[in-house]
């Protein structure tokens, strides 16, 4: 029997996490099958994923009706529903968590997108959700916005596993890595052990190319299309290797600290002109995570090529970003725009989700 192509990725030190959750995939045994057959080692969720799950099925109606008896707050009702799904998924991944000694087996739940620019409220909700799920293998997602940095540090300092989301730019990524390290130092200084704390930094890819590619056509540089995101990711990995080495990091590593792995997000090809597994294939390498939607897992299982590619073509990656600058495209401006739009893109489905809960309550 041929080796499963998705499973092969793991042999290069990268973990594949599923970027999707709903009750059906848990109840039907499909998620368990993905763990067993494809070697899927975690799950990520976001407001858009939950909005789709709740509005496209009746699986949540009874819970909405039940929770509505005790609160009229639609956000509270949503998190009551979401926590249940996350708990059920974390229980499925308990074996992966234990076998990997706490490296993998995580399921991520995001704080309200309405808090993306509010440091104190984000930190408070992160702690509340962490306690509500009450599982060692949950990660709370906090956006890597400027105000999010303080919330990331204080959450790590409380011993909470954090998935930093909505990262697009290299300078911000480095600030996120710094917030993680500082949080570990705070936790250690308070007299706690740090070996159990885990974090990932989710670097979004295809959205960069969606925004930049039309600019490249305008500037007469079409040869760089669908290359900028991959080049940025390769440079982010260089930063990762630099930050998680040297005396400061070694001091924490000696206390059992785990590096904050880079996680590739938004890895489905948005442009049909390019191979549907392009982003996955280009960034396979050690100590990283790739979170992919179901259709990309299926595509890779069918025709993906697993190879150690992440550190190939680093000079070319540098050249791509230098050429971008030379033709007058400010990548920092682009990534800030993407962050702003990303916050908005999660707000809209969250508003729709809360409205759906409201409508369901009225039916009851």
Antiparallel, parallel or unpaired: β 199-204 and 42-43: unpaired
**How far apart are the C-alpha atoms of 157 and 220, rounded to whole Å?**
48
**How far apart are the C-alpha atoms of 358 and 75, rounded to whole Å?**
10
Given the residues 141, 234, 258, 323, the one annotated as active site: 141
DSSP 52-63: HHHHS-STTHHH
Contact 169, 332 (CB under 8 A): yes
**To which H or E segment does residue 28 belong?**
none
Active site residue 141: yes
In this structure, what are the phi and psi dihedrals at residue 121, rounded to the nearest 5 degrees?
-65, -35
**In sequence order, what are the beta bridge partners of 305?**
none
**How far apart are the C-alpha atoms of 350 and 53, rounded to whole Å?**
12
Radius of gyration (C-alpha) of the chain in whole angstroms: 20
* Beta-strand runs (E) in the chain: 14-18, 42-43, 106-110, 138-143, 162-167, 199-204, 261-265, 288-292
Give CA torsion, residues 35, 89, 297, 335, to 10 deg: -140
Distances 189 to 91, 120, 255, 256 between C-alpha atoms, Å: 32, 22, 12, 14
Contact 156, 179 (CB under 8 A): yes
3-state SS, residue 114: helix
**How far apart are the C-alpha atoms of 349 and 275, rounded to whole Å?**
28
**How far apart are the C-alpha atoms of 165 and 144, rounded to whole Å?**
6
- Active site (catalytic) residues: 141
């Amino acid at each position: 029997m041929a080796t499963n192509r998705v499973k092969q990725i793991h042999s290069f030190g990268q973990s594949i996490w599923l970027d999707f959750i709903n009750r059906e995939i848990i109840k039907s045994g499909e998620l368990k099958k993905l763990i067993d057959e494809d070697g899927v080692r975690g799950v990520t969720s976001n407001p858009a994923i939950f909005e789709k799950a709740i509005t496209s099925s009746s699986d949540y109606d009874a819970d909405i009706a039940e929770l509505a008896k005790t609160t009229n707050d639609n956000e509270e009702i949503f998190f009551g529903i979401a926590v249940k799904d996350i708990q059920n998924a974390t229980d499925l991944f308990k074996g992966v968590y234990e076998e990997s000694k706490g490296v993998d087996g995580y399921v991520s739940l995001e704080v309200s997108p309405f808090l993306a620019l509010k440091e104190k409220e984000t930190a408070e909700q992160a702690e509340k959700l962490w306690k509500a799920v009450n599982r060692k293998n949950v990660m709370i997602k906090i956006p890597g916005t400027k105000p999010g940095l303080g919330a990331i540090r204080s959450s790590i300092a409380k011993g909470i596993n954090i998935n930093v989301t909505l990262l697009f730019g290299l300078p911000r990524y480095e600030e996120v890595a710094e917030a993680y390290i500082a949080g570990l130092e705070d936790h250690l200084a308070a007299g706690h052990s740090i070996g159990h704390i885990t974090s990932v930094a989710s670097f979004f890819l295809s959205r960069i190319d969606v925004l930049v590619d039309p600019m490249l056509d305008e500037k007469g540089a079409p040869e760089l299309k669908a290359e900028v995101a991959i080049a940025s990711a390769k440079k982010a990995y260089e930063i990762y290797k630099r930050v998680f080495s040297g005396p400061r990091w070694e001091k924490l590593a000696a206390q059992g600290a785990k590096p904050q792995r880079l996680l590739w997000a938004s890895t489905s090809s948005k442009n049909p002109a390019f191979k549907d597994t392009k982003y996955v294939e280009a960034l396979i390498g050690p100590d990283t995570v790739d979170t992919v939607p179901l259709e990309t897992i299926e595509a890779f299982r069918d025709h993906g090529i697993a190879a150690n590619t992440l550190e190939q073509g680093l000079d070319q990656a540098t050249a791509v970003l230098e050429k971008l600058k030379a033709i007058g495209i400010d990548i920092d401006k682009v990534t800030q725009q993407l962050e702003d739009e990303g916050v908005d893109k999660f707000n809209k489905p969250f508003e729709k989700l809360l409205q759906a809960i409201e409508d369901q309550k009225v039916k009851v």
